[in-house]
Homo-oligomer: A and B are copies of this chain.
């Protein structure tokens, strides 16, 4: 399985990068994570439009439980031929043109700092795979 994460901005540094690396390492036997950082919304949009199964993280998206996230994640994996793309908006949110007819999720009603979103996302992806396995991690 392959997860693509696409965002406008720069790759996380310091402790956030360390946290992300911890989950990438835990996931490596199951799936690979590719990071795509773009300078502008336009570049992001060009990339996203080429992808088959896309989940947009957006404050206006619906909030879900980790169980529902796991279900959605695995369903998209099947539909996407083992590839799913997650898109993280910039400080101004995602362009409206991208949002049409795509799945919008919100990680929380709370606003999280933009830098921390990749960290929360990879932990949820790891949790999703553990829920699917039926392990005790998510309990």
Contacts and interface: CB of A to CB of B under 8 A. Distances in A.
Contact of A19 (B19, B65, B108): B19
Interface size of A as a range: 20 to 34
A91 B16 contact: no
Contacts of A11: none
Contacts of A64: 109-110
A60 B109 CA distance: 15
A138 interface: yes
A68 to B, nearest CB: 8
Contacts of A22: 15
Contacts of A91: 139
Interface of A: 14-16, 18-19, 22, 63-66, 69, 91, 107-113, 116, 119-120, 123-124, 127, 138-139
